[in-house]
C-alpha cells in the first residue's frame, strides 16, 4: 500500500483503503525538505518513493510541481549520489534511485544488481553494457517481467530470460522485441504458451502458422482475433478458441459462425457469443437454451426472445 494511504476498519464492512493525495503531496514535499535540510540521506529513498507514487496516482502540478523540481535539483547537488557505499544502500531500499546515481555507478554491476532486485524496471537506467548482461537481466525480470523491455535485443530472445519472467506483472514480451525475435518460431512458441494474446505482436508469417496459432488460442481463446484470415476459417482452431473464450466466435469465418457445433460450444462458454452466430442459429432452440443455461433467461427477456417447440423467436 502506498505510504500516503491509510486503512479504515469497520466491524460491519471490509477494510477500505483511503488515499488522500492532496494531503500527502505536502507530506512528501516536507519529507524531501527534511532530508535535504538535515542531510538525512538514508531517508531519501523513502521520500523519493513517496513522491514517485504520488506521480502515478494523482500527479504533480502547479506550484507543487515547481517546488518538487527545485528540491530534486538541490538533492542532486548535495546528496552523495557518487558514493558507491551510499548508493548500494539507497537502491536496495528503492531501486528506482538508480536514476539519480552517477553514470559511473550506473555502470557498476553490483549497484545495478541491487537496484533491479528491488525494482526490476530500474534496468532502463543501467548502462547498455549491463542491459546486455544476462545475470543482471535475469535479476530484473524475476522481479518484474516488464524489465525485459529494457534488455538487449539478444536477451529479449533468450529462452532462459523469457522463462524466468515474472508473468504476473508483465504486460508484453514480444511488443518490445526486435523483428527477428517476432519471427523466431521457437521464441514465439515459448512466449505464447504463457500468454496467447502475444500473437498480436508476432510476424505475419507466424500468424499464418497453424501450430503457433493453435498454441496461442489454447492458452487464451481471445488470441483468435490476431490469427490470419485463413486460420480464422480453420475449424479446429476456432473450436479450441471458443472452448475457453466464447466471444472469440466474432472472429471466426462466416461459415463457422453457421456451424452448429462451433456455436453451441461458444454459447455454452459465454451466452453473449449468441450475438455473433448466424441468424438461423440464433433462433435454434437448443443453442438458445444452452445460452440461457449459461447466463440465465434475463438477457432473452430483455430482447423479447421466447422459445417454444424447436425454434426460438424474437
Q: What is the mean pLDDT of each run of 10 residues along the chain (314 residues)?
A: 39 41 64 80 79 55 76 84 91 90 94 94 95 96 89 87 74 74 88 90 94 95 94 96 91 92 88 84 78 54 45 50
pLDDT value of position 299: 44
pLDDT value of position 9: 40
DSSP 284: B
pLDDT value of position 98: 94
pLDDT value of position 60: 61
pTM recorded for the entire structure = 0.53
| Strands 13-19 vs 311-313: parallel, antiparallel or unpaired | unpaired
pLDDT value of position 72: 82
Q: Name residue, grid cell 534496468.
A: 123
CA 158/CA 294 separation, integer angstroms: 43
Please state, in angstroms and as integers, the Cα–Cα distance from residue 218 to each residue in 167, 224, 242, 253, 257, following that order.
17, 10, 10, 18, 19
Q: Residue 116's closest CA among 133, 91, 99, 151?
A: 91
Amino acid at each position: 500500500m502506498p505510504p500516503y494511504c491509510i486503512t479504515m476498519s469497520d466491524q460491519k464492512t471490509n477494510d477500505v483503503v483511503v488515499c488522500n493525495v492532496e494531503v500527502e503531496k505536502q507530506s512528501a514535499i516536507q519529507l524531501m525538505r527534511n532530508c535535504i535540510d538535515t542531510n538525512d540521506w538514508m531517508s531519501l529513498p523513502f521520500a523519493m518513493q513517496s513522491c514517485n507514487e504520488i506521480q502515478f496516482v494523482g500527479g504533480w502540478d502547479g506550484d507543487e510541481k515547481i517546488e518538487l523540481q527545485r528540491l530534486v535539483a538541490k538533492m542532486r547537488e548535495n546528496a552523495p549520489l557518487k558514493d558507491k557505499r551510499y548508493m548500494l544502500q539507497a537502491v536496495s531500499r528503492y531501486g528506482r534511485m538508480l536514476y539519480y546515481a552517477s553514470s559511473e555507478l550506473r555502470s557498476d554491476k553490483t549497484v545495478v544488481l541491487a537496484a533491479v532486485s528491488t525494482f526490476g524496471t530500474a534496468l532502463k537506467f543501467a548502462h547498455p553494457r549491463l542491459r546486455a548482461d544476462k545475470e543482471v537481466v535475469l535479476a530484473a525480470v524475476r522481479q518484474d517481467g516488464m524489465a525485459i523491455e529494457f534488455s538487449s535485443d539478444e536477451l529479449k530472445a533468450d529462452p532462459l530470460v523469457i522463462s524466468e519472467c515474472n508473468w504476473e506483472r508483465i504486460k508484453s514480451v514480444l511488443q518490445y522485441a526486435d523483428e527477428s525475435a517476432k519471427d523466431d518460431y521457437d521464441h514465439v512458441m515459448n512466449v505464447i504458451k504463457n500468454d496467447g494474446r502475444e500473437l498480436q505482436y508476432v510476424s505475419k508469417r507466424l500468424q499464418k502458422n497453424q501450430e503457433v496459432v493453435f498454441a496461442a488460442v489454447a492458452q487464451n481463446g481471445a488470441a483468435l482475433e490476431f490469427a490470419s484470415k485463413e486460420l480464422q476459417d480453420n475449424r479446429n482452431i476456432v473450436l479450441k478458441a471458443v472452448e475457453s473464450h466464447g466471444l472469440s466466435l466474432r472472429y471466426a469465418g462466416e461459415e463457422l459462425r453457421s456451424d452448429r457445433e462451433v456455436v453451441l460450444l461458444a454459447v455454452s462458454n459465454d451466452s453473449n457469443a449468441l450475438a455473433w452466430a448466424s441468424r438461423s442459429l440464433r433462433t435454434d432452440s437448443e443453442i438458445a437454451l444452452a445460452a440461457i443455461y449459461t447466463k440465465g433467461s434475463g438477457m432473452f427477456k430483455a430482447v423479447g426472445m421466447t422459445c417454444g417447440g424447436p425454434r426460438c423467436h424474437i
